Amino acid sequence: MTYKTHTTCLICQSDRLIPKKNYEDAYLCQCLSCSFVFSQRIPTQKELKNHYEKYGRDDYLSPITINRYNELLDEFEKYRKTNKILDVGCGIGYFLEVAKQRGWEVYGTEYTDKAVEICEAKGINMNQGKLSIDNYEPESFDIITSFEVIEHINNPIEEIQNFYSLLRKGGLTYVTTPNFNSLLRYRLKEKYDVICYPEHLSYYTPKTIKYLFCSIGFSKKKIETTGISISRLKAGKGVTNEKPVSQVSTDEKIRNQLERKWYLRFLKRMINSMLTFFGVGDSLKAYFIKH
């Protein structure tokens, strides 16, 4: 069976691409010019439809995650001018619910009818399908967020150019995505369950996400790499098939233990500082400013 492939890098357009050894099942290649790793195979609409139809809409929302959302929104307060926030690929609107409770005018995008229906019932202004600048006033948002979305797309230049067009000058964009340079990926290699075609098509590191955003015109505020998922480690070793995001997962149990004592919270901050310093935490969290 033949399939379409990318012949140039998704973010720097170089044709100096080489297969990523041991990641053939996910069709990964690496750009020799900018180091970006991505799936060279282009999935068909049928492949994507078959995959994403399996997605549920009953994701577990931890009380700790709500606390993290509020801490993030605390950081966003100094950018509040138009009072508008856009979450690209907002799922069923958990983050925007919290933002709305804090007085933000909230907007979101999602693909499925069900997700859009759920979000609209929560009072979120929704647009269905991929992000389009035609749906909004230019430079109208203070904040644009995207949680665990950009790894799913293979048109990052177009996507981040849209972010730039819709964000006001001085506004902030905040993006999270798995870190390809994480300790777990080095430990588990192709067994790391983040490496998954056609769900994940683009794999970022602190270096390549900075290159992407700065090439569009953003400036870096900060980039963090935090956390180590014990649930994913156990899954990669075949010990368990538990979901990392669930009420009974090992990760959630550890999160609850760390929240209970001040010295454990301090220890967590110190560990995350080290993971960020070396760029090896599981989750890549990037903040960029439009000037």
Average pLDDT over the chain reads 94
| pLDDT interval class at 286 (50, 70, 90) | very high
| pLDDT interval class at 58 (50, 70, 90) | low
Residue 100's pLDDT is what? 98
pTM comes to: 0.94
Only one residue has tokens 């505020």, namely: 221
What is the distance between the alpha carbons of residues 189 and 234, in angstroms, rounded to a whole number?
A: 13
Residue 29: pLDDT over 90: yes
Residue 46: pLDDT over 90: no
Residue 146's pLDDT is what? 98
Supply the CATH classification number for the domain 59-290.
3.40.50.150
| pLDDT interval class at 56 (50, 70, 90) | low
Residue 8: pLDDT over 90: yes
Residue 57's pLDDT is what? 58
Residue pLDDT, tens place only, 185-212: 999 999 999 999 999 999 999 999 999 9
pLDDT higher at 236 or 226: 226
Burial class (CB in 10 A: 0-12, 13-18, 19+), 135: middle
Residue 61: pLDDT over 80: yes
CB 53 within 8 A of CB 27: no
Per-domain residue ranges of the chain: 59-290
Residue pLDDT, tens place only, 125-180: 999 999 999 999 999 999 999 999 999 999 999 999 999 999 999 999 999 999 99
- Map residue 86 onto helix, strand or coil: strand
**Length of the chain measured in residues:** 291
What is the distance between the alpha carbons of residues 68 and 192, in angstroms, rounded to a whole number?
A: 25
- Map residue 16 onto helix, strand or coil: coil
